[in-house]
Protein backbone atom coordinates (compact mmCIF):
# COMPACT_ATOMS: atom_id res chain seq x y z
CA UNK A 1 0.00 0.00 0.00
CA UNK A 2 2.64 2.48 -1.13
CA UNK A 3 -0.05 5.07 -1.80
CA UNK A 4 -0.99 5.37 1.87
CA UNK A 5 2.61 5.15 3.05
CA UNK A 6 3.39 8.23 0.95
CA UNK A 7 0.15 10.11 1.65
CA UNK A 8 -1.07 12.21 4.57
CA UNK A 9 -4.02 9.90 5.22
CA UNK A 10 -4.12 8.10 8.55
CA UNK A 11 -4.92 4.65 7.20
CA UNK A 12 -4.91 1.09 8.54
CA UNK A 13 -5.09 -2.36 7.05
CA UNK A 14 -7.72 -4.10 9.15
CA UNK A 15 -9.70 -7.29 9.66
CA UNK A 16 -9.59 -10.26 7.33
CA UNK A 17 -6.53 -9.20 5.33
CA UNK A 18 -4.45 -9.19 8.53
CA UNK A 19 -5.92 -12.50 9.75
CA UNK A 20 -5.48 -14.34 6.46
CA UNK A 21 -1.99 -13.00 5.82
CA UNK A 22 -0.84 -14.18 9.24
CA UNK A 23 -2.38 -17.60 8.52
CA UNK A 24 -0.70 -17.78 5.12
CA UNK A 25 -4.07 -17.82 3.35
CA UNK A 26 -4.63 -16.13 0.01
CA UNK A 27 -7.24 -13.39 -0.07
CA UNK A 28 -8.53 -10.99 -2.68
CA UNK A 29 -10.39 -8.83 -0.15
CA UNK A 30 -8.57 -5.84 1.33
CA UNK A 31 -10.14 -3.74 4.10
CA UNK A 32 -8.73 -0.30 4.87
CA UNK A 33 -9.93 2.04 7.60
CA UNK A 34 -9.17 5.73 7.22
CA UNK A 35 -9.39 8.28 10.01
CA UNK A 36 -11.06 11.09 8.10
CA UNK A 37 -12.43 11.26 4.58
CA UNK A 38 -12.45 7.67 3.34
CA UNK A 39 -14.19 8.54 0.06
CA UNK A 40 -11.51 11.11 -0.79
CA UNK A 41 -8.82 8.53 0.01
CA UNK A 42 -10.50 5.94 -2.21
CA UNK A 43 -10.91 8.44 -5.06
CA UNK A 44 -7.22 9.39 -4.98
CA UNK A 45 -6.12 5.76 -4.67
CA UNK A 46 -8.23 4.80 -7.67
CA UNK A 47 -6.50 7.40 -9.83
CA UNK A 48 -3.46 5.14 -9.50
CA UNK A 49 -5.15 1.73 -9.49
CA UNK A 50 -7.69 2.61 -12.20
CA UNK A 51 -10.25 0.07 -11.10
CA UNK A 52 -14.01 0.35 -10.83
CA UNK A 53 -14.88 2.79 -8.04
CA UNK A 54 -18.15 2.46 -6.15
CA UNK A 55 -18.96 5.26 -3.69
CA UNK A 56 -21.49 4.90 -0.88
CA UNK A 57 -21.94 8.45 0.43
CA UNK A 58 -24.58 7.54 3.02
CA UNK A 59 -22.10 5.24 4.75
CA UNK A 60 -18.92 7.19 4.09
CA UNK A 61 -17.39 4.17 2.35
CA UNK A 62 -16.09 3.22 -1.07
CA UNK A 63 -15.10 0.07 -2.92
CA UNK A 64 -12.51 -0.39 -5.65
CA UNK A 65 -12.77 -3.48 -7.87
CA UNK A 66 -9.72 -4.41 -9.91
CA UNK A 67 -9.52 -7.81 -11.60
CA UNK A 68 -10.27 -10.27 -8.76
CA UNK A 69 -9.28 -7.86 -5.99
CA UNK A 70 -11.80 -5.94 -3.89
CA UNK A 71 -10.62 -3.01 -1.76
CA UNK A 72 -13.12 -1.68 0.78
CA UNK A 73 -12.24 1.70 2.27
CA UNK A 74 -14.22 3.07 5.21
CA UNK A 75 -13.82 5.76 7.83
CA UNK A 76 -12.75 4.54 11.25
CA UNK A 77 -16.00 4.23 13.13
CA UNK A 78 -17.56 2.89 16.28
CA UNK A 79 -21.13 1.78 16.90
CA UNK A 80 -23.75 1.29 19.55
CA UNK A 81 -26.74 -1.02 19.50
CA UNK A 82 -29.97 0.72 20.65
CA UNK A 83 -31.40 -2.71 21.47
CA UNK A 84 -30.39 -6.36 20.97
CA UNK A 85 -30.69 -7.48 17.36
CA UNK A 86 -31.20 -3.95 16.02
CA UNK A 87 -28.98 -2.45 13.36
CA UNK A 88 -26.21 -0.40 15.01
CA UNK A 89 -25.94 3.36 15.15
CA UNK A 90 -22.59 4.21 13.59
CA UNK A 91 -20.46 7.25 14.36
CA UNK A 92 -16.95 8.42 13.50
CA UNK A 93 -14.20 7.26 15.84
CA UNK A 94 -10.51 6.46 15.96
CA UNK A 95 -8.87 3.13 15.11
CA UNK A 96 -9.31 1.83 18.66
CA UNK A 97 -13.06 2.34 18.49
CA UNK A 98 -13.05 0.80 15.01
CA UNK A 99 -11.39 -2.37 16.26
CA UNK A 100 -13.55 -2.51 19.40
CA UNK A 101 -16.75 -2.75 17.33
CA UNK A 102 -15.61 -5.85 15.44
CA UNK A 103 -16.90 -9.36 15.99
CA UNK A 104 -13.95 -11.56 16.98
CA UNK A 105 -10.45 -11.03 18.30
CA UNK A 106 -8.85 -12.52 15.19
CA UNK A 107 -10.67 -9.89 13.11
CA UNK A 108 -9.71 -6.97 15.36
CA UNK A 109 -6.08 -6.47 14.40
CA UNK A 110 -4.71 -3.61 12.31
CA UNK A 111 -1.55 -2.43 10.63
CA UNK A 112 -0.99 1.32 10.63
CA UNK A 113 0.20 2.51 7.21
CA UNK A 114 2.42 5.28 8.45
CA UNK A 115 5.20 6.78 6.34
CA UNK A 116 7.53 6.83 9.33
CA UNK A 117 6.68 3.49 10.95
CA UNK A 118 4.49 0.48 10.28
CA UNK A 119 2.69 -0.14 13.57
CA UNK A 120 0.82 -3.34 14.46
CA UNK A 121 -2.26 -2.92 16.65
CA UNK A 122 -3.70 -5.89 18.53
CA UNK A 123 -5.72 -4.57 21.49
CA UNK A 124 -7.87 -7.71 21.82
CA UNK A 125 -5.13 -10.35 21.61
CA UNK A 126 -6.01 -11.47 18.12
CA UNK A 127 -2.55 -12.91 17.55
CA UNK A 128 -2.84 -15.01 20.72
CA UNK A 129 -6.14 -16.55 19.64
CA UNK A 130 -4.92 -16.93 16.08
CA UNK A 131 -2.01 -19.01 17.36
CA UNK A 132 -4.34 -20.99 19.61
CA UNK A 133 -6.74 -21.43 16.66
CA UNK A 134 -9.71 -20.13 18.61
CA UNK A 135 -12.72 -17.99 17.72
CA UNK A 136 -13.30 -15.55 20.59
CA UNK A 137 -15.78 -12.69 20.87
CA UNK A 138 -14.47 -9.30 21.96
CA UNK A 139 -17.04 -8.73 24.70
CA UNK A 140 -19.74 -10.80 26.52
CA UNK A 141 -22.68 -9.01 24.86
CA UNK A 142 -21.41 -9.62 21.34
CA UNK A 143 -24.03 -12.21 20.33
CA UNK A 144 -26.79 -10.25 22.05
CA UNK A 145 -25.91 -7.01 20.27
CA UNK A 146 -25.68 -8.68 16.88
CA UNK A 147 -27.09 -12.23 16.82
CA UNK A 148 -25.90 -12.76 13.23
CA UNK A 149 -22.44 -13.15 14.75
CA UNK A 150 -23.63 -16.62 15.75
CA UNK A 151 -23.56 -17.61 12.08
CA UNK A 152 -20.25 -15.90 11.45
CA UNK A 153 -18.60 -17.58 14.47
CA UNK A 154 -19.48 -21.00 13.07
CA UNK A 155 -18.54 -20.00 9.52
CA UNK A 156 -15.08 -18.81 10.56
CA UNK A 157 -14.60 -21.79 12.85
CA UNK A 158 -15.05 -24.23 10.00
CA UNK A 159 -13.39 -22.18 7.28
CA UNK A 160 -10.21 -21.79 9.33
CA UNK A 161 -10.48 -25.19 11.07
CA UNK A 162 -10.52 -23.44 14.46
CA UNK A 163 -12.57 -24.10 17.59
CA UNK A 164 -14.85 -21.85 19.57
CA UNK A 165 -13.11 -20.51 22.68
CA UNK A 166 -14.88 -22.05 25.71
CA UNK A 167 -16.46 -18.83 27.04
CA UNK A 168 -17.46 -17.82 23.52
CA UNK A 169 -19.16 -21.17 23.02
CA UNK A 170 -21.10 -20.72 26.28
CA UNK A 171 -22.16 -17.23 25.22
CA UNK A 172 -23.29 -18.56 21.85
CA UNK A 173 -25.36 -21.33 23.48
CA UNK A 174 -26.91 -18.85 25.91
CA UNK A 175 -27.80 -16.50 23.07
CA UNK A 176 -29.50 -19.33 21.18
CA UNK A 177 -31.44 -20.33 24.32
CA UNK A 178 -32.54 -16.71 24.71
CA UNK A 179 -33.86 -16.90 21.12
CA UNK A 180 -32.03 -13.71 20.16
CA UNK A 181 -32.26 -14.60 16.46
CA UNK A 182 -36.00 -13.93 16.68
CA UNK A 183 -35.06 -10.26 17.01
CA UNK A 184 -33.22 -10.27 13.69
CA UNK A 185 -34.95 -9.82 10.34
CA UNK A 186 -35.35 -12.89 8.16
CA UNK A 187 -33.51 -11.04 5.39
CA UNK A 188 -30.35 -10.72 7.48
CA UNK A 189 -30.52 -14.38 8.47
CA UNK A 190 -31.03 -15.35 4.84
CA UNK A 191 -27.94 -13.34 3.88
CA UNK A 192 -25.89 -15.26 6.46
CA UNK A 193 -27.19 -18.63 5.23
CA UNK A 194 -26.27 -17.74 1.66
CA UNK A 195 -22.74 -16.85 2.79
CA UNK A 196 -22.46 -20.15 4.65
CA UNK A 197 -23.49 -22.11 1.56
CA UNK A 198 -20.75 -20.43 -0.49
CA UNK A 199 -18.04 -21.76 1.83
CA UNK A 200 -16.06 -24.91 1.03
CA UNK A 201 -16.84 -26.08 4.57
CA UNK A 202 -20.56 -25.31 4.27
CA UNK A 203 -21.66 -28.80 5.35
CA UNK A 204 -19.82 -28.63 8.69
CA UNK A 205 -21.41 -25.26 9.41
CA UNK A 206 -24.90 -26.44 8.49
CA UNK A 207 -24.43 -29.40 10.82
CA UNK A 208 -23.34 -26.95 13.52
CA UNK A 209 -26.62 -25.08 13.05
CA UNK A 210 -28.35 -28.32 14.05
CA UNK A 211 -25.86 -29.18 16.79
CA UNK A 212 -26.32 -25.83 18.53
CA UNK A 213 -30.11 -26.03 18.01
CA UNK A 214 -30.21 -22.89 15.90
CA UNK A 215 -32.42 -24.68 13.38
CA UNK A 216 -34.26 -27.98 13.47
CA UNK A 217 -34.19 -30.10 10.32
CA UNK A 218 -33.83 -33.67 9.10
CA UNK A 219 -30.12 -34.52 9.21
CA UNK A 220 -30.55 -37.49 6.86
CA UNK A 221 -32.02 -35.21 4.20
CA UNK A 222 -29.17 -32.75 4.74
CA UNK A 223 -26.67 -35.30 3.43
CA UNK A 224 -28.28 -35.07 0.00
CA UNK A 225 -27.03 -31.48 -0.26
CA UNK A 226 -23.59 -32.80 -1.24
CA UNK A 227 -25.08 -33.78 -4.61
CA UNK A 228 -26.86 -30.46 -5.16
CA UNK A 229 -25.13 -27.88 -7.46
CA UNK A 230 -23.38 -25.08 -5.59
CA UNK A 231 -25.75 -22.34 -6.75
CA UNK A 232 -28.75 -24.29 -5.41
CA UNK A 233 -27.37 -25.57 -2.11
CA UNK A 234 -28.85 -22.74 -0.06
CA UNK A 235 -32.30 -23.25 -1.58
CA UNK A 236 -32.13 -26.95 -0.81
CA UNK A 237 -31.19 -26.17 2.79
CA UNK A 238 -34.06 -23.68 3.07
CA UNK A 239 -36.42 -26.45 1.92
CA UNK A 240 -35.49 -28.40 5.07
CA UNK A 241 -36.57 -25.54 7.34
CA UNK A 242 -40.03 -24.52 8.48
CA UNK A 243 -39.00 -20.86 8.64
CA UNK A 244 -40.24 -18.49 5.94
CA UNK A 245 -37.70 -16.21 4.28
CA UNK A 246 -38.13 -13.22 1.93
CA UNK A 247 -37.59 -14.92 -1.40
CA UNK A 248 -38.45 -13.93 -4.94
CA UNK A 249 -41.16 -15.93 -6.71
CA UNK A 250 -38.47 -17.81 -8.62
CA UNK A 251 -36.54 -18.64 -5.45
CA UNK A 252 -39.72 -19.68 -3.66
CA UNK A 253 -40.54 -22.02 -6.51
CA UNK A 254 -37.14 -23.71 -6.29
CA UNK A 255 -37.45 -24.15 -2.52
CA UNK A 256 -40.96 -25.57 -2.93
CA UNK A 257 -39.72 -28.00 -5.60
CA UNK A 258 -36.95 -29.21 -3.31
CA UNK A 259 -39.42 -29.56 -0.46
CA UNK A 260 -41.49 -31.86 -2.70
CA UNK A 261 -38.53 -33.61 -4.31
CA UNK A 262 -39.56 -37.09 -3.13
CA UNK A 263 -43.14 -36.61 -4.30
CA UNK A 264 -41.95 -35.38 -7.72
CA UNK A 265 -39.57 -38.31 -7.97
CA UNK A 266 -42.24 -40.87 -7.07
CA UNK A 267 -44.79 -39.29 -9.45
CA UNK A 268 -42.31 -39.43 -12.31
CA UNK A 269 -41.22 -42.96 -11.39
CA UNK A 270 -44.80 -44.25 -11.56
CA UNK A 271 -45.63 -42.34 -14.78
CA UNK A 272 -46.36 -44.77 -17.62
CA UNK A 273 -47.77 -42.66 -20.44
CA UNK A 274 -46.52 -39.48 -22.08
CA UNK A 275 -49.04 -37.14 -20.46
CA UNK A 276 -48.19 -38.44 -16.97
CA UNK A 277 -44.48 -37.88 -17.64
CA UNK A 278 -45.08 -34.35 -18.92
CA UNK A 279 -47.39 -33.26 -16.14
CA UNK A 280 -45.08 -34.73 -13.48
CA UNK A 281 -42.46 -32.13 -14.44
CA UNK A 282 -44.13 -29.26 -16.30
CA UNK A 283 -44.38 -27.07 -13.18
CA UNK A 284 -40.92 -27.96 -11.85
CA UNK A 285 -38.10 -25.43 -12.18
CA UNK A 286 -35.63 -26.28 -14.93
CA UNK A 287 -32.70 -26.34 -12.49
CA UNK A 288 -34.49 -28.78 -10.20
CA UNK A 289 -35.21 -31.06 -13.17
CA UNK A 290 -31.45 -31.12 -13.83
CA UNK A 291 -30.92 -32.06 -10.18
CA UNK A 292 -33.39 -34.94 -10.56
CA UNK A 293 -31.48 -36.04 -13.65
CA UNK A 294 -28.24 -35.98 -11.68
CA UNK A 295 -29.59 -37.76 -8.59
CA UNK A 296 -31.70 -40.53 -10.08
CA UNK A 297 -30.22 -42.45 -13.00
CA UNK A 298 -33.38 -44.51 -13.36
CA UNK A 299 -35.39 -41.43 -14.26
CA UNK A 300 -33.10 -40.07 -16.95
CA UNK A 301 -34.93 -41.72 -19.86
CA UNK A 302 -38.25 -40.22 -18.71
CA UNK A 303 -36.64 -36.81 -18.23
CA UNK A 304 -35.29 -36.94 -21.79
CA UNK A 305 -38.78 -37.82 -22.98
CA UNK A 306 -40.19 -34.87 -21.00
CA UNK A 307 -37.86 -32.50 -22.90
CA UNK A 308 -39.11 -33.96 -26.22
CA UNK A 309 -42.75 -33.69 -25.13
CA UNK A 310 -42.23 -30.09 -24.07
CA UNK A 311 -41.47 -29.14 -27.66
CA UNK A 312 -44.94 -30.23 -28.76
CA UNK A 313 -47.14 -27.16 -29.14
CA UNK A 314 -50.77 -27.53 -27.99
CA UNK A 315 -53.18 -27.69 -30.93
CA UNK A 316 -55.97 -26.04 -28.95
CA UNK A 317 -55.60 -22.67 -27.24
CA UNK A 318 -57.84 -20.25 -25.38
CA UNK A 319 -58.84 -18.40 -28.57
CA UNK A 320 -60.17 -21.67 -30.01
CA UNK A 321 -62.40 -22.14 -26.98
CA UNK A 322 -63.70 -18.58 -27.25
CA UNK A 323 -64.55 -19.28 -30.88
CA UNK A 324 -66.71 -22.16 -29.63
CA UNK A 325 -68.57 -19.67 -27.39
CA UNK A 326 -67.08 -21.17 -24.23
CA UNK A 327 -66.93 -18.60 -21.46
CA UNK A 328 -63.59 -18.19 -19.65
CA UNK A 329 -63.51 -19.93 -16.27
CA UNK A 330 -62.35 -23.13 -14.57
CA UNK A 331 -63.67 -25.19 -17.49
CA UNK A 332 -61.10 -23.52 -19.73
CA UNK A 333 -58.21 -25.12 -17.87
CA UNK A 334 -59.94 -28.50 -17.72
CA UNK A 335 -60.59 -28.57 -21.46
CA UNK A 336 -57.14 -27.30 -22.45
CA UNK A 337 -55.29 -29.75 -20.21
CA UNK A 338 -57.59 -32.61 -21.21
CA UNK A 339 -56.98 -32.06 -24.92
CA UNK A 340 -53.28 -31.51 -24.36
CA UNK A 341 -52.98 -34.83 -22.51
CA UNK A 342 -54.76 -36.62 -25.34
CA UNK A 343 -52.44 -34.93 -27.83
CA UNK A 344 -49.34 -36.03 -25.90
CA UNK A 345 -50.65 -39.58 -25.78
CA UNK A 346 -51.40 -39.62 -29.52
CA UNK A 347 -55.17 -39.83 -29.05
CA UNK A 348 -55.83 -36.60 -30.94
CA UNK A 349 -53.72 -35.37 -33.84
CA UNK A 350 -55.55 -32.44 -35.41
CA UNK A 351 -57.41 -29.31 -34.37
CA UNK A 352 -60.50 -30.64 -36.13
CA UNK A 353 -60.47 -33.86 -34.09
CA UNK A 354 -59.86 -31.90 -30.91
CA UNK A 355 -62.77 -29.55 -31.67
CA UNK A 356 -65.13 -32.49 -32.22
CA UNK A 357 -64.07 -34.02 -28.88
CA UNK A 358 -64.65 -30.72 -27.10
CA UNK A 359 -68.14 -30.44 -28.59
CA UNK A 360 -68.95 -33.96 -27.38
CA UNK A 361 -67.71 -33.05 -23.88
CA UNK A 362 -69.92 -29.98 -23.85
CA UNK A 363 -72.95 -31.93 -24.97
CA UNK A 364 -72.34 -34.46 -22.23
CA UNK A 365 -72.00 -31.68 -19.63
Q: What is the pLDDT along the chain (365 residues), one digit of tens a residue?
A: 677 777 778 899 998 999 999 999 998 899 999 998 888 989 988 899 988 999 988 778 999 999 989 999 999 987 777 776 667 777 678 899 999 999 999 999 999 987 666 789 999 999 999 999 999 999 999 999 999 999 999 999 999 999 999 999 999 999 999 999 999 999 999 999 999 999 999 999 999 999 999 999 999 999 999 999 999 999 999 999 999 999 999 999 999 999 999 999 999 999 999 999 999 999 999 999 999 999 999 999 999 999 999 999 999 888 888 888 888 888 888 999 999 999 999 999 999 998 999 888 887 54
Could you please report the per-residue DSSP string of 190-252? Answer: HHHHHHHHTSTTHHHHHHHHHHTTSS---HHHHGGGGGS-GGGHHHHHHHT--------HHHH
Write down the pTM of the prediction: 0.89
Q: Considering 74, 100, 132, which residue would you say is the last residue of a domain?
A: 132
Is there a single domain that holds both residue 34 and residue 158?
Answer: no
Is there a single domain that holds both residue 137 and residue 237?
Answer: yes
pLDDT of residue 24: 94
Is there a single domain that holds both residue 146 and residue 192?
Answer: yes
* Residue 329 within any structural domain of the chain: yes
CB neighbourhood size of 111 (10 A): 19
Q: Report the domain count for the chain.
A: 4
For the chain, give the number of residues.
365
pLDDT of residue 141: 93
pLDDT of residue 315: 92
Backbone angles phi, psi at 315, to 5 degrees: -85, -15
pLDDT of residue 323: 87
Q: Considering 132, 150, 171, which residue would you say is the last residue of a domain?
A: 132
Cα pseudo-dihedral 209, 212, 213, 215, rounded to 10: -10
Q: What CATH number did the domain enclosing 17 receive?
A: 3.30.460.10
pLDDT of residue 1: 65
Range of the domain at 345: 318-364
pLDDT of residue 284: 97
* Residue 250 within any structural domain of the chain: no
* Residue 81 within any structural domain of the chain: yes
Answer yes or no: are the C-beta atoms of 336 and 314 closer than 8 Å. Answer: yes
pLDDT of residue 365: 47
Is there a single domain that holds both residue 269 and residue 347?
Answer: no
Q: Are strands 119-121 and 134-135 parallel, antiparallel or unpaired?
A: unpaired
Is there a single domain that holds both residue 40 and residue 106?
Answer: yes
CB neighbourhood size of 306 (10 A): 23
pLDDT of residue 58: 76
Answer yes or no: are the C-beta atoms of 292 and 299 closer than 8 Å. Answer: yes
Q: What CATH number did the domain enclosing 221 receive?
A: 1.10.3090.10
* Residue 51 within any structural domain of the chain: yes
Is there a single domain that holds both residue 235 and residue 356?
Answer: no
pLDDT of residue 364: 54
* Residue 233 within any structural domain of the chain: yes
Is there a single domain that holds both residue 117 and residue 232?
Answer: no
* Residue 253 within any structural domain of the chain: no
* Residue 249 within any structural domain of the chain: no
Is there a single domain that holds both residue 12 and residue 78?
Answer: yes
Is there a single domain that holds both residue 124 and residue 24?
Answer: yes
Is there a single domain that holds both residue 335 and residue 299?
Answer: no
Is there a single domain that holds both residue 169 and residue 201?
Answer: yes
Is there a single domain that holds both residue 99 and residue 31?
Answer: yes
Q: Which residues contact 186 (CB under 8 A, 6 or more apart)?
A: 243, 244, 245, 246
254-258: long-range contacts at Cβ-Cβ below 8 A with a sequence spacing of 24 or more? 254/285, 254/287, 254/288, 257/284, 257/285, 257/288, 258/232, 258/288
* Residue 158 within any structural domain of the chain: yes
Q: Which residues contact 312 (CB under 8 A, 6 or more apart)?
A: 343, 344
Q: Considering 132, 149, 176, which residue would you say is the last residue of a domain?
A: 132
Indicate the DSSP class of residue 57. Answer: G
Indicate the DSSP class of residue 298. Answer: G
Amino acid sequence: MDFFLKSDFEAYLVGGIIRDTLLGRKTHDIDISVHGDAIKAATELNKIIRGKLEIHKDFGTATILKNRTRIDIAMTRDEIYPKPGALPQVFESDIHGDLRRRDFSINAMALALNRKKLRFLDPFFGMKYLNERLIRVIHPKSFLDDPTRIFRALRYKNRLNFKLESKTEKLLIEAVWLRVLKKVSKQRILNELKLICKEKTYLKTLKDLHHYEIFEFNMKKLNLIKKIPDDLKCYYFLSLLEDKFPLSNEEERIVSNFRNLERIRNTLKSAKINSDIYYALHNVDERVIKVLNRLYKGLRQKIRKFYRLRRIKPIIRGDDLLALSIKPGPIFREILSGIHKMQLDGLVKSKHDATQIIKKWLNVS
